Every structure is written in C-alpha cells, then in structure tokens.
Structure 1
Amino acid sequence: MTFLEDRDLEDVPTIPEYYKGKTIFITGGTGFMGKVLLEKLLYSCTDLDRIYLLMRPKKGVNPENRLAALYNLPCYDRLRNERPGAFESKVFFVAGDCSELGLGLSDEDRTLIVNRTNIIFHVAASVRFDDPLIVSTKLNLRGTREIIELAKDTRNLECLVHVSTTYSNTNRDPIEEILYPPLADWRETLEICEKIDDRTVNILTSKYLGEMPNTYVFTKQLAEHVVYEQKGKLPIVIIRPSVALDTVNKLYIAVI
C-alpha cells in the first residue's frame, strides 16, 4: 500500500475545512510561486481569516501601491470575476525584507505576526543564477534563518512550509525525496558573506561552489538544512517545485 492508501482519512478535514479561520503569513507573495499560492488560497479557501504578505518598497513603489498593482495582474482575473472582494478583505501587507535581520519587521508588526499567524509559507528567494554569493546568501540563507527565528516565537504555529527547489541538488541523479548532506556549513557560509569583503568573496565563489553550477542552487541547498535542523522542534515541511514560467504575468507550474 502507498502512504495515503494506508491511512484512515475519515476524520481528516478537507483543504478548505482546514484553512477555515486560519491566518497565513507569506514571504515572496509577489514572486512567481507566491502569486499562484495567493490566488489559489483566496479562490479555494475563501473562509480563511486573512493573509499577511511581507512586502518591501521596490523601485520607488511603496508596499501599499505594490499590493494594489499585484491584484491587477491577469493571474487574478478569475478571483476578481468569481470571488469579488476576497482579495481586498483578506490580504494585508506588513513592511519588511527577507534579506534584512529580523526580516526588517517593526516591533509592532512582528508582534502582530507571532500572535495571529497559524501557517507560514516561506516562498521568497533570489532566483537569479548570476547573483553574487553575498546577495544570494543574504536572501536565500539568512532570510530562511530569520523565518525560523520568527516561527519559533509564533504562538499558534501549525505549519511552516519552506519552498526550496528541485534544482537544489543538481549534482544528484536521480534526485530523491530525501535530504542530502550539506554542501558546506551554512553558518560558516553566512559568516564568510557577512564579514569578508565583496571582492574577495567574488574571487573565491567558483571554488566555494564546487560542483554546483550557480549561487542560487548552492544557497537553496544550504537553506534546506537551516530548516531541517528544526525537525522535531517545529512543524515544518520542505517542498521542491521544479519549473515556474511567467508569461505576461500568467503563471504556469510544471512539475517534472
């Protein structure tokens, strides 16, 4: 029997039933995966309480205006037509930045999140393959550590979902649903990127990455271990989606 076939699911709530009344905190809600997640939650689980998006100013646009622009994207056409008012009444932003210590949250917003949140989706990531190691490390690695610290303080946390990538182990064939040994010590990597100057780190990057092709997959692999260390301490899930394509802001997910 498979895992699901062997389970008694009679008393397990449906997905909409589970999300009813829940408060959700999402990082990366304006990115490829985040847009799809947000739309699906609002469309299929309309009885959820509310969703907080971590948002930073970008290119001179403040979070409030970015939130309005987000809802105007074509991928929310279905939501606007069939669930009018759901976005406006249930989605709120908190100002912050995953690349900053403490996620850049104010004390007031941090208190709000730790007191109200039931589910955390950590989706934010630097997905550029050519980002300098320091940039990728701050967002993908340190940002994950800061999410873990927030989760530890969250009073009614039911689940922390960390979105990794199937390409975090490109040096493996096949890639199985297991956690592979870390490519480096994530704490040491953070210390290097925080204390050594940019020029030196850039010179050493190719040697430091070893057989990994770029800083994205390298830092995402290490970030899995930041999360995995909390096994048995926090209710955590690591997922590894594969390809996400953004075509005129209409998102398509290909799981291969």
Structure 2
Amino acid sequence: MVSENYISLSQFYANKTVFITGATGFVGKCIVEKLLRGCPEIERIYVLIRAKKSQSAEERLQVILQEKLFDKIRQCPNTEGLFQKVVAVDGDITLNGLGISLEEALILKSNVSIVFHSAANVKFNAGLKELLKSNTEGTKNVIEWSKKLEILKAFVYVSTAFSN
C-alpha cells in the first residue's frame, strides 16, 4: 500500500542540489544521467573531479557529458540547459576538505542537500596502502565534509563490490 505522503523521485529532487563523488566512474556517470533525465527540476548537480595534468576538472566533465550514455537526454525535446546544471568541482577525496577551494566549499556548504559517494579505487591489483587511502580514508573524508553541510537530507554510500 502506498503511503499518502508518497512523492515521486522527481518531486523529491525538484529544487535540490546534489553532490556526487566518483562521477568519472561507471556508477557515478549513471547517477548523473538518471538525475538529469528523470529529475529535470533538479537545481544543480555538483560533481567532484580530480584535475589531471592534461585536463582540468571542467574539461573532464565535458568529455563525460559527450559520452553515449547521455544520448537519450540529447534526443529529448526541451532539454536545453539540463547539462548546465552539472558543475565540476576540482577536488580529491583523499585530501582533507576534499581539496575543494574555500570559495566553492562555502557555496556547497549552504546549498547541497544530498550527497552520493560513489568514488572508489577498483583496481584489483592495487596495493593495500593505496586502497586504504582512497576507499577508507577517502570515505571518511567525504563523511566528515558532509557533516558540515547546513541542509544535508541524505548521504548515499555506494560500496565497492570487491576488496583486497
């Protein structure tokens, strides 16, 4: 039986701001795509992305948004502006404060209400020290950072399927 208080996912996410770690990975990309396609009234989706020597966080995001996964959104009518709702945040889960600039941290602190933590090292041949740094310390850092959010309503943790 459906509760009288039931609201749809799209209603729940309407006017909400989401923060996603691991958006360059398979699961993270799927979360971004599903939120954009299924929740068009979402306010903003911030994605934590590590810059690389050859690409900024924003450049990496633009490459991701051009992937085939997002074709359904591009083919739908009235989707102009949806991709502008996705904003790259330069950072790294292995750093305190996630390595986010003070200016961006202040914006996120007062606007983010839902966190999806899907970042993880899934290299099966990685050493234990490397895996602990990203998967354990990284998760701790994301939790500690999320505790400082002023309007946090949900923290969603996506666990890795394998461990060393």
Indicate the TM-score class for this superposition, using the shorter chain for normalisation: over 0.9
TM-score normalised by structure 2 residue count: 0.93
Distance 1:92 1:150 in 2: 18
Distance 1:91 1:114 in 2: 17
Q: Answer with 1 or 2: which has the greater Rg.
A: 1
Distance 2:107 2:138 in 1: 19
Corresponding position: 1:32 with 2:26: yes
Cα offsets for 1:121-170 (capped at 9, x unmatched): 001100111111111111111111111111111000000001013x4xxx
Distance 2:19 2:140 in 1: 16
AA of the residue aligned to 2:163 = V
Structure 2: 5+ residue runs without aligned partners? Answer: none
Distance 1:59 1:75 in 2: 26
Aligned to 2:148: 153
AA of the residue aligned to 1:162 = Y
Corresponding position: 1:71 with 2:17: no
Distance 2:85 2:47 in 1: 11
1:89 Cα shift?
2.3
Of 154, 162, 183, the residue aligned with 2:157 is 162
Highest RCO, 1 vs 2 (Cα 8 Å, sep ≥ 6)? 2
SS in 1 for 2:136: helix
Distance 2:12 2:33 in 1: 17
Q: How many residue pairs are counted as aligned between the two chains?
A: 163
Aligned to 1:135: 130
SS in 2 for 1:13: coil
Cα offsets for 1:72-114 (capped at 9, x unmatched): 1011100111153244321111110112222111111211111
Aligned to 1:62: 56
Aligned to 1:110: 105
CA contact (8 A) 1:100 1:138 kept: no
1:41 Cα shift?
0.4
Of 4, 8, 14, the residue aligned with 1:10 is 4
Distance 1:63 1:112 in 2: 17
Aligned to 1:91: 86
AA of the residue aligned to 1:67 = L
Structure 1 stretches of 4+ moved >3 Å:
none
TM-score normalised by structure 1 residue count: 0.61
AA of the residue aligned to 1:47 = E
